Structure 1
Amino acid sequence: MMGKSVVSRMFHDIVLVGAIALLLGIMIWQGLRFGGSPDPEQAVGAWSAGISAAVLVFREGLEAILVLAALFASLQRAQAALTRPISAGALAALAMTVLTWFVVVWLIGLAQSTFSELQVQAATGLLAVVVLLVVMNWFFHRVYWTEWIRVHTRRKTDLAQQLKAGLLTPRRAFLGLALLGFSAVYREGFETVLFLQDTRLRWGMSVIELGAGLGLLLTLIVGWLTLLAHRRLPYQRMLVLTGAMLGLVFVVMVGEQAQEMQLAGWLPTTQLPLPIPDWLGTWFALFPTAETLLAQALAATLVLGSFLVVKLRTARAARLLETSPAQSSL
C-alpha cells in the first residue's frame, strides 16, 4: 500500500508540474507575442491549440518510453552494455525527427507556392486528423501498442542470445540494437511532426514551441523517472488519461478541419439557425453549419463506439477465462 501511495503521489506531482508549467508558459508567451494582454478570442484559440499539441507530444513520448523501458528491462542486470546501442539509436531518432520537421516544412513551403493557403491548411489538417486516428486506434485497441512492445522485446532477446552464442558479431549486434532504439522513438516522432504542421500553419511557431515544449518537458520527467531512476509509474492511468484527452482533441480537430475544407471550397456550407456562442467555436470548433456538426457527431460516435467495443470485448474475454477453468474441471 505504501508503494502504491508513493506512485500515486508521484503521478499527481507530474500532473501538477505540467499544469503549472502550462500556465507559466502561456503567461510568458502572451507577454512575448502580444506585449501584454492579447485579443481574448485569439488567445483562447491559441491556448486550445497549445494544449492539444502538448497532449499529443506527451502521449507519443510516453509510448516511446514504454517501448524503451521494455527493451532496457532485462538488460539492466545481465547485459547492461547492450543498453548503449539502444540509447544511441533513440538519440539518432530524435535527431532524425528534427531533420524530418525541417524537410516537411520545406515540402509544405513548396506546396504553398502552387496551391492557395486555404487549400494547404485543409490538406495539412486532414493529415493531422489521420495521424490522430492512428493514435486513437492505439489507445482503444491496446493490443497494437502491446504487440509493438512485444516485437521489440523479442527482437532484442534474439540479438542478445545470438551475440552470446557467437552467431552474431558485436558490430552487427550493435547495429541491430541501435535500429530497435531508433524505430521505438522515430515512429512516434514522425507522427508528431505530421500532426503539428496544421497547428503551425494556423497559429505559428510560438504555439508549437509552447505546446510541444510542455509535452516534451513532461516526457523528459517521466523518462527520467522510468529509465534513470527506475521508478514504476501508473502508466496505464496516464495512457487512459491522455487517450481520453486526445479523444476530445480529435472531435475538435474534425470540426476545425471541416470548416477549413469549407473555406477551401472542398465542402459545401449549410448554415443552421442555431444559437451557438462564439466561445464554443473558439474552444471546441462548434459552428452552426450542418457539415461541421455532422462531422463532429461522426467523430464523437467513432470515439465512443470504439471505446464501447473494446469494453465489450474485454468483458467477453474475462467471462471466457472464468468459464474455461470450470469446464476443464468437469
Structure 2
Amino acid sequence: MRKWLLVVIMAFIVVSQGMVFAAPKWDAVVDKIEKTMDQSLTVYKSGDTAGAKKIVNDAYYGMYEKDGLEKAVNSTVSAKRANLTEYKFSTIKKLMTNQAPEADVKKQMKELIGMMREDIAQMDGGGKQSSSMATFWPAFLIMVREGAEAILVIGAIIAYLIKSGNSEKTQVIYNYSGAAIVASFLTAILFRSVINLSGASQEIMEGMTMLVAVFVLLSVGHWMSSKSDEKSWGNYIEGKVQSSLTKNNTFSLGVAAFLAVYREGAEVVLFYQALFNDAGDDMQMIWLGFGAGCLALVVIFAVVRYGSVRIPLKPFFQGTSILMFILAISFAGGGVKELQEGGLIGVTLLEGMPMFDLLGIYPTVETLLPQLFLILMVAGNVMYQKRKKIREVVS
C-alpha cells in the first residue's frame, strides 16, 4: 500500500509542475471592458437600471474575471488592488440601484478603467510579485494537520492491535485506510465538477463552501481540544477498537479506520476548495503544498508506526486548534467576500482601513462582523473551559 501511495503523491507533484498561466493581451481586455461599460451607461441613461447592472456584471464576470485579468492583477500587482477594483464594480452597481446622477456613474466608470490601465502598465513593467509562499504554506499546513490527525488515530489503533496480540488484523487497517484515500480523491473530483459553475453562481457557491469550511474548522478545533490529554485520547482509541475485538468483527474495525482517514480527507477537500477559490495565479503553489504535505506525512507515519519518538499530544492538538481558528477567521472573511462578488450581500466600504488578504480581512462591514463574532465566541469558550477545569480541580 505504501508503494502505490508514493506513486500517487509523485504523480500529483509532476502534474502540478505542468500548470502554467497564459496571459492574453491585457490592453485588449481593458478595451473590451471599457466598451461594455460605455454600453451599460447608455442603457442606464435610457432608464433601464436592471439592464445596465446586468451589463456591468457581464464586464466583471465575463471579462475582468473570465479573461484572467483579475488573477493577473492579484498575483502580479497585489491582492489589495484586485479587491479594490472589484469593489469599484460593486460601487457602480450600487449607484445605479440608488438612481444616482449619470455624471456620478460615469465618473466611477472612468476611475475603474483608469485603475485597470495603471495595473496593466505596472504588470508590463514587472510589477510587484506577490509571495507565492503565502499560498504554499496554508496548503502544506492543512495537509499535514489533517493527515497527522488521521495518522495518530491509525497509528494508535495499530499499536493497540499489536499490543493486544492481534497483529494479523493490522492489514485490515491498511486496506481500509487505502480505500479511504481513494474515496477522498474521488470526492475531490466530484466536488470540483459540481462546483464548476460560472459568473455570480460560482461566486455564491464558493462563498457558501468557505462558510461551511468555517463551521467544520471550528468543530475540528473543539474536538482536538477535548482530546488533548493522554487519558481522553486513550479512552477514544480504546473505544474505537475494543468493541470490534470483542465481537471479532474485522469489518467494523476496518470501517473505524476508513472513517478516521476519510473524515480528514473530506475536510482536506473542503479546505482546499476554499484555498482554490482565492488562489489567483498561484494554483500550482497549492499543488506543491499538497505534494510537500504528503511527503511530510510519509515521514510522520514512519515515525509514529516504526519509531520510538512519540508526538506530544497536548501541544500538537492545542497548536493545531489555534491554526484551525486562524483559518476559520480567514475563510469567514473570504466566504462573505465571495458572496459580495456574487451580489448576494451588499458592500459597505470602510475608507482608509488596511486590507490583510492572507488573513481574509477586508475593509467592509459585512466581512468584519462575522469575524468579530467568531473571535468573541471562541474567547468566551476558552474562558468557559478554563473555569470548568478550575471547578473540576476544586471539587
TM band (smaller chain): 0.7 to 0.9
In structure 2, C-alpha distance between the alignment counterparts of 1:126 and 1:162, rounded to whole Å: 41
Contact 1:89 1:179 in 2 (8 A): yes
In structure 1, the partner of 2:344 is 266
- Could you give the per-residue CA deviations for residues 6-48 of structure 1, whole angstroms, max 9, x where no partner exists? xxxxxxxxxxxxxxxxxxx9xx98x97699xx62635647543
In structure 2, C-alpha distance between the alignment counterparts of 1:123 and 1:261, rounded to whole Å: 8
In structure 1, C-alpha distance between the alignment counterparts of 2:241 and 2:375, rounded to whole Å: 39
Query: What code does the residue aligned with 1:62 have?
Result: A
Match of 1:303 among 360, 373, 378: 378
Find the residue that maps to 2:161 and give its secondary structure: coil
Find the residue that maps to 1:209 and give its secondary structure: helix
Find the residue that maps to 2:361 and give its secondary structure: coil
In structure 2, the partner of 1:179 is 255
Match of 1:291 among 361, 366, 374: 366
Match of 1:218 among 287, 296, 302: 296
Query: What code does the residue aligned with 1:213 have?
Result: G
Structure 2, gaps ≥5 residues long: 1-12, 24-74, 80-128
Matched ranges for 1:28-39 at <5 A: 39=76
Residue 107 of structure 2 is aligned to residue 70 of structure 1 = no
Query: What code does the residue aligned with 2:290 have?
Result: A
Matched ranges for 1:67-146 at <5 A: 67-77=153-163, 78-109=165-196, 112=197, 116-142=201-227
Contact 1:50 1:210 in 2 (8 A): yes
Contact 2:228 2:313 in 1 (8 A): no
Identity of aligned residues (%): 26
Q: Which moved more, 1:40-49 or 1:303-312?
A: 40-49
What's the C-alpha RMSD, in Å, of the aligned pairs? 3.2
Question: Greater relative contact order (Cα 8 A, min sep 6): structure 1 or 2?
Answer: 1
Find the residue that maps to 1:214 and give its secondary structure: helix
In structure 1, the partner of 2:389 is 314
In structure 1, the partner of 2:139 is 53
In structure 1, C-alpha distance between the alignment counterparts of 2:130 and 2:262, rounded to whole Å: 32
Query: What code does the residue aligned with 1:316 have?
Result: R
In structure 2, C-alpha distance between the alignment counterparts of 1:59 and 1:89, rounded to whole Å: 21
Contact 1:141 1:310 in 2 (8 A): no
Displacement of 1:191 in angstroms is: 1.5
Displacement of 1:114 in angstroms is: 9.0
In structure 2, C-alpha distance between the alignment counterparts of 1:44 and 1:105, rounded to whole Å: 26
Displacement of 1:148 in angstroms is: 8.3
Structure 1, gaps ≥5 residues long: 1-24, 164-172, 321-330
Query: What code does the residue aligned with 2:353 have?
Result: I
Contact 1:57 1:192 in 2 (8 A): yes
- Could you give the per-residue CA deviations for residues 32-89 of structure 1, whole angstroms, max 9, x where no partner exists? 7699xx6263564754343223222222212212211221223223221111111211
Contact 1:61 1:219 in 2 (8 A): yes
TM-score by length of 2: 0.62
Matched ranges for 1:190-209 at <5 A: 190-203=266-279, 205-209=283-287
Displacement of 1:118 in angstroms is: 1.8
In structure 1, the partner of 2:239 is 154
Contact 1:58 1:219 in 2 (8 A): yes
Structure 1 pair 306–145 and aligned structure 2 pair: CA distance change class (3 A)? farther
Find the residue that maps to 1:134 and give its secondary structure: helix
Structure 1 pair 243–120 and aligned structure 2 pair: CA distance change class (3 A)? same
The count of corresponding residues between Structure 1 and Structure 2 is: 277
Structure 1 pair 94–74 and aligned structure 2 pair: CA distance change class (3 A)? same
Find the residue that maps to 1:76 and give its secondary structure: helix
In structure 2, C-alpha distance between the alignment counterparts of 1:281 and 1:209, rounded to whole Å: 23
In structure 1, C-alpha distance between the alignment counterparts of 2:341 and 2:141, rounded to whole Å: 27
In structure 2, the partner of 1:248 is 326
Displacement of 1:144 in angstroms is: 12
In structure 2, the partner of 1:41 is 78
TM-score by length of 1: 0.73
Structure 1 pair 75–297 and aligned structure 2 pair: CA distance change class (3 A)? same
In structure 1, the partner of 2:316 is 238
